[in-house]
Amino acid sequence: MVIVKPAGTGAGDVLVASLALNGSTVSSPPSGWVQIAAITSISNPRLYSYYRVAGAAEPVSYTWTLSSAVANSGGIGRYTGVSNVSPLDAPASTASSATNVSNLTAPAVTTVSPGAMLIGAAAINSSNTAIVITDPSGMAQRWDLGGKRQEYDDAVQLLPGSSGRKTWTFSSARPAAAWLAALKPAP
């Protein structure tokens, strides 16, 4: 799976990738990418996330090696003002359902820094873009992709503490997976 580098990426930016797969697994990420979450407890969808601190000479795109050719989708969010030493403020929480559900809730994460950036995604077992994925309350959609249906969202959490549970809603019930984490602001 090849994902293009976000426009405007500069040295020190933190890049966050979210990949949704139709039953395959990620055999290897591109060099320098650190896994945030891997939801493989259900066969479809499988959902992965990674981060990377951008260097001075980033490639035009990044390639993830998959265990087999399958329908997939992926995107990369770019964040400035995030800690380059330890980008995660809160480790990921995950949720999945192998049965059809009309919504999926990721457990809360607990941030330790004021101004942490909540990040998260949900994927469903469908490629149909007519099925609407609605973002959790208080989070803003960064992308909504077909191929393997997924949505990625983020929001600033001003005060440290619980993010509260985050729920993605689907216009048609499907098996689903979701992850939620937080990025630490630069000191």
C-beta of residue 123 within 8 angstroms of C-beta of residue 176: yes
pLDDT class of 146 with cuts at 50, 70, 90? confident
Please tell me the predicted confidence (pLDDT) of residue 99.
96
The number of helices, as runs of H, and strands, as runs of E, in the chain is 0, 16
Instruction: Give the confidence band of 77 by pLDDT, cuts at 50, 70, 90.
Output: very high
Using CA atoms, how far apart are residues 72 and 19, in angstroms rounded to an integer?
A: 7
Give tens-digit pLDDT for 16-67.
999 999 988 999 999 999 999 999 999 999 999 999 999 999 999 999 999 9
User: By C-alpha distance, which of 6, 35, 64 is closest to 181?
Assistant: 35
Looking at the structure of the chain, the number of domains it has is 1
Model pTM?
Answer: 0.96
Q: Whose structure tokens read 């479809």?
A: 44
Query: Could you tell me the residue range of the domain that residue 141 belongs to?
Result: 2-183
Mean pLDDT over 146-169 rounds to 96
Q: Are 163 and 118 in contact (CB under 8 A)?
A: yes
Rounded CA separation 38/23 (Å): 13
- Render pLDDT for 105-139 as a digit per residue (tens, 0 to 9): 999 999 999 999 999 999 999 988 889 999 999 99
pLDDT of residue 25: 94
pLDDT score of 127: 86
Mean pLDDT on 141-169: 95
